[in-house]
Each structure stands twice: as C-alpha cells, then as structure tokens.
Amino acid sequence: MPNPQTATVSTASRSDRFASGLAYFTAIPAIIFLLNEPYRNRSYVRFHCWQAIYFMVASLAIGAVLGVITDMVPGMQFLAFDRFPLISLLLVILWIMVLMKAFNGQRYKLPVIGGMAERRAGR
C-alpha cells in the first residue's frame, strides 16, 4: 500500500520537476515560479513552491523560538543551534529529502505544511 504522504506524479514534465526542485533553494525562485507563466498554472509546481515557502518560514520560526527560549529561560541554552546542532541537522536532512522528491517527480507532503501547500496549490 503506498504511503499517503507520497504520491508519484507521472505527468510532471522534466521542466516542472526542475522548477519544483529549484523552488526549495530559496524563496526567490519559488515566488518567481508562482508569479510567472507557465508554472503558475501547474499544480505540481505550485504545490512545491508553496511547500518550500512554508518550510522556510517554519525553519525560521523554529530558529527564532529556540533563540528566544535559550536567551530567556535559564538552563535552556542547550537548545541553541550553535551549541546543539541536532535540530539544524534534522531540518537540513528534511530539506534534502523534499528537494530530492521534487526533482524525482513526487508530490511529498510534509506534515501540517504539506496540507497547507496543497490547499494553496488548488489540487
């Protein structure tokens, strides 16, 4: 039985897969693809662009929250990215995973943000 988080997209063209993977590098390509033809009309590309944007926002939010916690709460300094890089490593591994899924033509939904991206993409 296939994993409900992953659905292979066989109709994604090579250019769609490339654009979707490129969207994960920074928010700039994702926004450009969302604004320009022909990619803004392709559900597969829109999904990965929105998921990439949400993933970047979530990563920044995690960093900000951990920064505030480590500064304000005594004894919580072990959560800081520079002193405890496990969270950063997990985010990088997750980023590489969604990047590879996009390049391979799979619509992989991350928990929470994947559903949000799917709704924005209009699937």
Residue 2, in any domain of the structure:
no
| CB count in 10 Å sphere of residue 84 | 14
| Cα-to-chain-centroid distance, residue 111 | 10
Name which residue leads in pLDDT, 1 or 123.
123
The arithmetic mean of pLDDT across residues 92-119, rounded, is 91
**Integer angstrom CA distances of residue 88 from 36, 67, 68, 77, 78:** 32, 13, 16, 15, 13
H helix intervals, the chain: 14-22, 27-35, 43-72, 86-103, 113-121
Q: Is the pLDDT of residue 3 over 80?
A: no
Residue 4, in any domain of the structure:
no
Residue 24, in any domain of the structure:
yes
Residue 5, in any domain of the structure:
no
What tokens were used for 5? Answer: 């988080």
Q: What one-character DSSP code corresponds to residue 36?
A: S
Q: Give the chain's mean pLDDT.
A: 82
- Our count of domains for the chain comes to 1
Low-confidence winner among 35-49, 59-73, 88-102, 104-118 (lowest mean pLDDT): 59-73
The arithmetic mean of pLDDT across residues 27-39, rounded, is 89
| Cα-to-chain-centroid distance, residue 100 | 11
Query: Which amino acid is located at 25 in the chain?
Result: F
What tokens were used for 59? Answer: 């990563």
